[in-house]
């Protein structure tokens, strides 16, 4: 896929080390979780190709 991007855009693609990618992924999932807990939209149909805007993620409340 990276080769196709390079070819179609005629540009160089810099891929950061895996640790940085994992860190950014953790940040975005934490942010999506925060939005979900606030009942805010965290997944846009224009980004995902879905038919409607959705709230992604489940959370469980542990009973005492």
Grouped pLDDT means (10 residues each) for the chain, 64 residues: 87 92 94 86 78 72 81
Domain count, the chain: 1
Is there a domain that residue 21 lies in?
yes
CA 7 to chain centre: 25
Is there a domain that residue 64 lies in?
no
Supply the pTM of this predicted model. 0.62
Is there a domain that residue 62 lies in?
no
Domain membership of residue 16 as a residue range: 2-48
Q: In the prediction, which pLDDT does 21 show? A: 95
Q: In the prediction, which pLDDT does 25 show? A: 94
Q: In the prediction, which pLDDT does 5 show? A: 87
Is there a domain that residue 63 lies in?
no
Is there a domain that residue 10 lies in?
yes
C-alpha distances in Å from residue 50, one per residue of 43, 46, 54: 9, 7, 9
């Amino acid at each position: 896929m990276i080769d196709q991007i390079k070819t179609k855009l005629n540009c160089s693609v810099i891929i950061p080390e895996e640790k940085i990618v994992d860190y950014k992924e953790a940040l975005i999932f934490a942010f999506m979780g925060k939005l979900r807990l606030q009942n805010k939209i965290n997944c846009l149909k224009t980004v995902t190709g879905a038919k409607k805007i959705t709230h992604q993620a489940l959370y469980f409340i542990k009973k005492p």
